[in-house]
Structure 1
Amino acid sequence: MRRVLLTLFALFLIALSFGMWYASQRGFTSKWRGYVREEFHKRGVEVTLRRLTLDPLRGLVAKDVRVFDAHDKKRTLAVIDEMVLQVNFANLIRGKTFLDALDLHDANLSLPLDPQKPHGHKIEIARLNGRLFLPPQQLYLAYADAEVFGLHVSASGRLIHPQAFRLSSASRSAITPDLVSRIFEEISAIKYEAGPPVVSLTFSGDLAQPDQIFVDVALWAERIRRKRYLLNNLYIGASWRGGALDLKQFVATDAAGELRLNGLWERESNHAQLQLRSNIDVAALARACGNFPWLDDFVFYAPPAIDLRLDTTLGDKPEFLVSGRLAAKKFAYRSIVFDQAEAGFSWDGTQWSLRDAHVRRANEQEISGDALQVAGDFRARLDSTMDPRVFRPLLSDAQSETLRQLEFSHAPHITAEAYGASPSLDALKIDGRVELGAARFRGVPAESTKATLHYENRTLSIAPFTLKRSEGEGSGGLYFDFGREEIRFDKIRARVNPPEVAMWIDPDLVKQILPYRFVRQPPNLLIDGVVNTRNGKTTRLSILVDAPAGVDYTFLKKNLSFPKISGKLLFTDGRLKISDLSAALFGGTLSGGADISLNRARPNYSANVALANVDFTSVTKLYFDYDDSHGHLNGRYDFTGSGEDARNMEGRGELTVTEGNVFAIPFLGPFSGILNNIVPGLGRDVAHQANVDFTISSGVIATDNLNVQGKGFSMLGNGKLYFLDDKMDFDMRINAQGISGVLLFPMSKLFQYTADQKLSKPQWRMKIIPRL
């Protein structure tokens, strides 16, 4: 009997050993794997097992376990390479729930980001160690440690009713291929230089009532690098409780400063709040996290300080309000260096405001103001003491060049208020004022300027304005029409130096004004009209000139000095018209007008002048350097020409000399001696009157009716005077008057003289030599 028992025991041991070897090496049959699957199913979890083996040291081991969505078995939630099952064999024999716990040791867990594509992107969890107890209707995680994306994660907690878990359709649709790809790119770009960050996770709750679940997460990390940006320390503390996500603390530090963030999101109301304070190097962080080309325009010498609050309600039509304050110390924008900037702000997606904003530079230069945009209404206020030339890098080449030509002893003070439907210039109206001390524009100085500003419909008006210079001041209105590219002058009254003021308006005008030299006192000007700065087609600028102290002007290479002059200048497209000209000249008057081309390619002109009672002596002295003439000069001259060469001038006129000494005219001077030779004493009879009609062409004065009258004779002449070449070709016939004329009349044809030598030294000779 004893032998039989020993034999049976040996057979039992052999059978048991073989069974254990078979279970260890070949695994349990599909029937046993079915028991395990059913056990998980009772707990609301759908799994499949590729193998179920028995390890003598660890117990029952399930390999290649796949966890599915209980409501959609096509959706793989997790893949576990190996887990140890803690089995209650007594319950197994009685047919009761026999799975008490799961043990994981250096296991690998794979969580597909898209459950419908189990072979796609996954979250890989490595070196997973932990124990999960499986009481009825519960999941109790005693502990778990693993490495996830380079993080060291530890977790513990308890959940009931696990069978009630179901991934929402919104969560499913949110997992897109682009999002998955972006997540993995971001994760792979982060480097942990001081070892894996530590994450602690605790949880509890009822999966049948998700709002009652509690989750508490804490993260601590050091030296986190992304590209060139290094975060020295990072701590995050957050919890989910009662349907609310509470970001209790988010603290990050870098070499520049610290960022603190906290917030709350309530699931029921879908409302969230977020508060942020930071003085870390946000520019470097932004460049490390994304592509922001506009940041290349900024250089921060010290990180800006940010104080921000976000209130938002999520949903189909999200609503939010961002408010806070920004402050920056020294920074540069497109090479413009500022010492300080600060502003409060708010924005809800459509409406925004800017409060107590100011930007400062050295030397007390500052811009301050406020702005508000609400539905269909924009308003702003500006107060500036900053040099406008600072903003040259922000402007077009033409605008920058205009600002470059400005020089300030002190920056202008500008105040302005803007209002309109939107902040675009086309929709705005702006009212303001500017006060400017000593300044220069294009090298021309002004002592001070004050003006009222208005902008509307792309037109800037500077009206009224007052400008002071050393010689006088100007006032009136200026209008810059940027759409038509025109400058309109509205009744500007000034007593200033015209060429210098013309330099402010249009440098091309200076050359046309320079010949008129107001050397004693600037004229009184009334400027009215339009200048087209693009092509001049609509230019029509009227300048009324009243110069009681006179003007100097060069005519035929001689300086004419007018003690008093007035007239009207009209600038049009390529032409200058002078009208209503009235001037004092050598004791008499000059009147007339002119039409002058401003086109350099065709510098033609036409003019007419009239002289009345002009001192004949002054004229001959100026143009012929003779002092002996007397009398008064009257006449008229109409002429045309091209350029500055007098040879191109052509004209027609008439002159009359009365009560004068005609023989003082250089080319007629020798006739005093000739007359004495004809009749002794006749040469002492001064030729007191002369008149002539003449033409001028190619530097030649031509006439055929020079008539000189004396008391005892008359002279009739015709010919040409080459006044530019110092030549002459002229004939003169002498007729005696009174009894001498009667006696000599038969011989009058013999008293004809001609000269064809130098005009400056005429040599008259008889044209017909009588035969003896």
Structure 2
Amino acid sequence: MLVSASFLSEGSSLLFLMRWFRGIFLITCLVTTLVIVTAAIYARKEGFTESWRDAIEREFEKRGYHVEIGKVTLGAFRGLVAEDVRFYLDPEQTEEVAFLNDVYLDVDLSNIFNKKQVLINTLDVQDAKLSLPLDPSKPQGRKVKIEKLSGRVVVTESVIEILKAEATFAGIELRVKGSLLRSSEGKDQEEEEQVSEERAEELAGRRRQLLKVMKALDSFNFPGEPPVVDIEFRGDLDDISTATAQAKIRAGTFRDKKRTYVVDSLSADVEFDGLENEAEITELILQDKKGRLTCSGKWKQDGNRLDFSVDSDADLASLIGLFWEDKKLGEVVFFNPPEISVNGYLELDRFGEEGAGFPGEMLGEFRSERFVTRGSVFAGIDFGFSLAEDRYYLRNLRLDHKTGVAFLNLKYEPEAGDSAVQYQTEIKLDPKVFRPFFNEEGRKFIDSWSFDDTSSVYLAGEGGGPEWDMKTWRNRGVIDLRNFRLNGVPFLELETEIETEEGVQYFRNVLLSRKEGKIIAELAQNNVADKQWEVKGVVSTVHLVEGASAFNRQLGESLGKYRFENPPTVRLAGTLDARRADEVGDESRRTKVELSFESQGTALYDFLGKTLTLENAKGNVSIDRSRVHLTSLTAGTFGGNFELEYDATNVRSPDRPFETTLSVTGVPLEAVTKHYGDVDAIKGSVDTVFSLSGNAADLSSLQGQGRATISNGHLFALPVLGPLSKLISKGNGSQENAGHSVVNEATATFQIENGVLKTNDLVALAPSFRVRAIGDVSFVDQSIDMEAVVNTRDQLTSAILTPVSELLTFSGTGSIKEPVWKAKHISNLGKVPAQMISEMTNIPVEGLRKLGQGLFKNQASRAETGGETNTEVLPLKKLFQRREVE
């Protein structure tokens, strides 16, 4: 029992002691916890002492990093936290490289108390913010901001390893992992300074590139999931250029903020090999709503050269517009994206060099269906091409249009001198589709041609020159056109050989055909700069006016006065002024042409205000500036012959000055007077030659002279003597003419002064009497002022003839259409017996009576002579100086 009691007593003491120790332990743990929590809170809020920061900064500096830590705190779960960490490029901390708000430090504190050393094992970043100044010398300047930065970095003396890092940069998610080796060997101060300078220069270049990337990224909008870039790298920190890296880029929908073009997706795999100093795009795929672009390439630092290969059926024009603004890109609109396949290389250092040409070489194929440019819609285009610096090639280009097809081979080699530009082409479509691509002069030339659905076009040519200015090119080819219009004039075909040199076009062996005939030419030379044509060996059997109007509308208008029933044969040589009317202005045209024509059939020609009908006309025309000279025109007219020279000395003058010479042989007078005077009762055959000059617009300006002969007619074949002839013919009774009024011959010479025809030797001969006349006929007011004497043709003495002559002397007044004849002198009428007068004049006594009745008729009979009664006796003009006896 005692043992038991003693044991119980000792057990109670032990239990108490255990309880006491447990209490002490709990209190100690509680105090320790409170101390630790208080220290942690203090460390979190206030940070460790400056000695801790210095120790950590020295650890970074030993490893080659220059940092400044704002404070070091204790994280609740991650340990030490370095806040407001700034990384510098130099020990003096003048150029800031980066700024991090929080960095978790995994450190070894085993030597912290005795050696004041902090060994950093890893750096952790969680949802931190990284700021990189673009200019390290200006920390307050523009910065690159990276948000949501998370990752773990293992830092040893020999390796910096990023186990995993994630961040957001300019709306792009970055995922990075990799390692960088560090040399454990120290460098002397001079070497460190040199390395520092090299790094500074390299970083400056990287920042400039980064700035360009930032600007480019700022212009894009990513409405869907943000793009993701995965980067994995390996390298040597002392020689970063030897690093290797792989990047994978994946992006969904994005677009330029200023444009409507949308990229549906983008994926790319890129590799960089620093040891070989090259990068490779193993695959790049871009997808839009219209197609896909695939690309691969390799970049080499040696020469900064990029070799590439591209295949695309995406909207390439819009895609290029994302990076390169050029208004010309908008000139071409494709209904469906073109197919492009390109291989080549680019020398990137040459970009931006002025006048350097294309910085590399490129060889490819281009194919497209319908597209529109400058208002012209084409059915398709297909060609091969190559570019190499200043050299350009287009091979087997085919251009389709609803009107036909065109082919082209083009080469440009500037070192080839005069043959720098060379081409070959065939065109089988309406040339008007190219109108929008020409200058104003070219458009006007194309506008002069028109084609329809029945037309066919074939143009083939080759040539070239020293530069792109087409005026300097030499060309040769052939032209074959069917069913077309030139300046509105229709033609069935055109065939010619063409050459051009130094702005001059040569058309040789020209054949133009119409339904009625052809135009052939040995040479037609067009001086484009002077706007002047020179033609040689032209023979035309087409309509005269339309044939000329096709080439020169003004020439066609000037030839409009010659109207042929059948197209004449025309021969032409000379120069033609091709300037427009507004270009000519008030000066004369520079046309100088010799033209001859010959026709079978009738031709119409305007002469003296009336239209003449000419038969088998032929002639020659000389045109010299404003002068149109019909040097000769021969034709049949009114059954006789007609010869004319007509010189329009200035067709541009409103006065229309002219000079003409006319010769008529065997022309029936009744036809002429009917045509010009609407008088058809006259008969006779007329021969005449006269010359005339003046202004066609002013009859009073007419001047001229000539002679005329009328044979085998009646006395009244002379219009102004018609009433006098009727008086003499009254005595014939029922016998027509009775042989008394038939005029075998009538002759006269005349002058024309100020529009008035004057004659003083008009003589009309009948078998038994003679009529002599003198006077004026005005073309201005159509008035006449004449005197006439009727005399016998028998061999009588002057004494006997004198009273008879005075008896048959008359004066004529009035108008050409209505002349008025009156007795001039009747004092000797009673001195001569009527029978004697009748025998002397071969006028029957009854006729004399009728003559008297005509001379003294009453008012009721005035209509027979066409004039009014006038009892005034006018003095007789002296018609003859002496009388001649026949």
- Compare 601-610 and 490-499 and name the one that shifted more: 601-610
CA distance in 1, matches of 2:526, 2:135: 63
Q: 1:662 to 1:232 in 2, by over 3 A?
A: same
User: 1:245 Cα deviation (Å)?
Assistant: 0.5
User: 1:105 Cα deviation (Å)?
Assistant: 0.8
CA distance in 2, matches of 1:203, 1:734: 137
User: 1:231 Cα deviation (Å)?
Assistant: 1.1
Q: 1:328 to 1:204 in 2, by over 3 A?
A: same
What per-residue deviation string (whole Å, max 9, x for no partner) do you get for residues 242-293 of structure 1? 3210111110101100011111012245332011111111233344555322
The answer as to whether partners of 2:383 and 2:398 remain within 8 angstroms in 1 is yes
Name the aligned partner's letter for residue 334 of structure 2: F
5+ residue gaps, structure 1, are: none
CA distance in 2, matches of 1:186, 1:665: 104
Partner of 2:690 in structure 1?
Answer: 636
What per-residue deviation string (whole Å, max 9, x for no partner) do you get for residues 196-247 of structure 1? 1122111112233445311111011111122312111110110112321011
Name the aligned partner's letter for residue 330 of structure 2: D
What per-residue deviation string (whole Å, max 9, x for no partner) do you get for residues 142-162 of structure 1? 111111111122111111027
The answer as to whether partners of 1:495 and 1:525 remain within 8 angstroms in 2 is no
Name the aligned partner's letter for residue 227 of structure 2: P
What per-residue deviation string (whole Å, max 9, x for no partner) do you get for residues 536-583 of structure 1? 543212222233445221223433222233332222332312214343
CA distance in 2, matches of 1:79, 1:379: 61
CA distance in 2, matches of 1:71, 1:55: 29
CA distance in 2, matches of 1:275, 1:137: 41
Structure 1 residue 221 corresponds to structure 2 residue 251 = yes
Partner of 2:777 in structure 1?
Answer: 721
The answer as to whether partners of 1:616 and 1:657 remain within 8 angstroms in 2 is no
The answer as to whether partners of 1:673 and 1:683 remain within 8 angstroms in 2 is no
Partner of 2:790 in structure 1?
Answer: 734
- Compare 455-464 and 12-21 and name the one that shifted more: 12-21
More strand by proportion, 1 or 2?
1
CA distance in 1, matches of 2:151, 2:731: 150
Q: 1:601 to 1:298 in 2, by over 3 A?
A: farther
Partner of 1:120 in structure 2?
Answer: 141
Q: Secondary structure in 1 aligned to 2:704?
A: strand
- Compare 159-168 and 705-714 and name the one that shifted more: 159-168
Structure 1 residue 265 corresponds to structure 2 residue 311 = no
Map 1:503-542 → 2, pairs under 5 A: 503-533=549-579, 534-535=583-584, 536-542=588-594
Structure 1 residue 306 corresponds to structure 2 residue 340 = yes
Partner of 1:279 in structure 2?
Answer: 313
Map 1:101-180 → 2, pairs under 5 A: 101-161=122-182, 167=199, 169=201, 172=204
What per-residue deviation string (whole Å, max 9, x for no partner) do you get for residues 647-705 of structure 1? 3561312122154326222322344455568999783452413122131645x433333
- Compare 510-519 and 427-436 and name the one that shifted more: 510-519
**RMSD of the TM alignment (CA)?**
3.2
Counterpart selection for 1:754 from 787, 811, 815 = 811
CA distance in 1, matches of 2:313, 2:261: 15
CA distance in 1, matches of 2:680, 2:399: 72
Q: Secondary structure in 2 aligned to 1:34?
A: helix
Instruction: Give the number of equivalent residue pairs.
Output: 764
The answer as to whether partners of 1:642 and 1:648 remain within 8 angstroms in 2 is no
Partner of 1:403 in structure 2?
Answer: 446
Counterpart selection for 1:233 from 247, 265, 283 = 265
Name the aligned partner's letter for residue 96 of structure 2: T
CA distance in 1, matches of 2:225, 2:237: 35
Provide TM-score, normalisation by structure 2: 0.80
Name the aligned partner's letter for residue 475 of structure 1: I
- Compare 663-672 and 333-342 and name the one that shifted more: 663-672
Partner of 1:414 in structure 2?
Answer: 459
Name the aligned partner's letter for residue 460 of structure 1: Q
Q: Secondary structure in 2 aligned to 1:563?
A: strand
User: 1:426 Cα deviation (Å)?
Assistant: 2.8
Partner of 1:656 in structure 2?
Answer: 708
CA distance in 2, matches of 1:217, 1:685: 125
Partner of 2:87 in structure 1?
Answer: 67
Q: Secondary structure in 2 aligned to 1:597?
A: coil
Q: Secondary structure in 2 aligned to 1:31?
A: helix
The answer as to whether partners of 1:675 and 1:682 remain within 8 angstroms in 2 is no
User: 1:385 Cα deviation (Å)?
Assistant: 0.5
- Compare 118-127 and 608-617 and name the one that shifted more: 608-617
Name the aligned partner's letter for residue 481 of structure 1: N
User: 1:492 Cα deviation (Å)?
Assistant: 1.5
Partner of 2:362 in structure 1?
Answer: 322
The answer as to whether partners of 1:592 and 1:610 remain within 8 angstroms in 2 is no
Q: 1:13 to 1:171 in 2, by over 3 A?
A: closer
The answer as to whether partners of 2:170 and 2:214 remain within 8 angstroms in 1 is no
Q: 1:145 to 1:181 in 2, by over 3 A?
A: closer
User: 1:23 Cα deviation (Å)?
Assistant: 3.0
Map 1:550-569 → 2, pairs under 5 A: 550-569=602-621
Structure 1 residue 88 corresponds to structure 2 residue 88 = no
Q: 1:397 to 1:604 in 2, by over 3 A?
A: farther
Structure 1 residue 367 corresponds to structure 2 residue 406 = yes
Q: Secondary structure in 2 aligned to 1:413?
A: strand
Partner of 1:253 in structure 2?
Answer: 287
Partner of 2:537 in structure 1?
Answer: 491
Structure 1 residue 690 corresponds to structure 2 residue 710 = no
The answer as to whether partners of 2:782 and 2:816 remain within 8 angstroms in 1 is yes
The answer as to whether partners of 2:640 and 2:665 remain within 8 angstroms in 1 is no
CA distance in 2, matches of 1:405, 1:41: 85
Map 1:704-715 → 2, pairs under 5 A: 704-715=760-771
CA distance in 2, matches of 1:75, 1:411: 76
Name the aligned partner's letter for residue 169 of structure 1: E
CA distance in 2, matches of 1:236, 1:543: 77
Name the aligned partner's letter for residue 508 of structure 1: Q
Map 1:425-464 → 2, pairs under 5 A: 425-464=470-509
CA distance in 1, matches of 2:726, 2:81: 151
- Compare 723-732 and 426-435 and name the one that shifted more: 723-732
Partner of 1:466 in structure 2?
Answer: 511
CA distance in 1, matches of 2:479, 2:740: 75
Percentage of identical aligned residues: 21
User: 1:174 Cα deviation (Å)?
Assistant: 7.4
User: 1:766 Cα deviation (Å)?
Assistant: 0.7
User: 1:501 Cα deviation (Å)?
Assistant: 1.3
The answer as to whether partners of 1:351 and 1:373 remain within 8 angstroms in 2 is yes
Name the aligned partner's letter for residue 79 of structure 2: G
Structure 1 residue 200 corresponds to structure 2 residue 262 = no
Counterpart selection for 1:297 from 312, 316, 331 = 331
Partner of 2:16 in structure 1?
Answer: none
Structure 1 residue 392 corresponds to structure 2 residue 435 = yes
Q: For the pair shown, which has the larger CA radius of gyration, 1 or 2?
A: 2
Partner of 1:55 in structure 2?
Answer: 75
CA distance in 2, matches of 1:708, 1:741: 21
The answer as to whether partners of 2:539 and 2:569 remain within 8 angstroms in 1 is no
The answer as to whether partners of 1:620 and 1:665 remain within 8 angstroms in 2 is no
What per-residue deviation string (whole Å, max 9, x for no partner) do you get for residues 510-545 of structure 1? 332122111134233223323241425432122222
The answer as to whether partners of 1:44 and 1:70 remain within 8 angstroms in 2 is no
Provide TM-score, normalisation by structure 1: 0.91
Q: Secondary structure in 2 aligned to 1:412?
A: strand
Q: 1:442 to 1:17 in 2, by over 3 A?
A: closer
CA distance in 1, matches of 2:182, 2:776: 128
Partner of 2:99 in structure 1?
Answer: 79
CA distance in 1, matches of 2:333, 2:43: 70
What per-residue deviation string (whole Å, max 9, x for no partner) do you get for residues 399-452 of structure 1? 545534533222310011022112211321111111011112233211111011
CA distance in 1, matches of 2:135, 2:568: 87
Q: 1:266 to 1:288 in 2, by over 3 A?
A: closer
5+ residue gaps, structure 2, are: 1-19, 184-191, 831-886
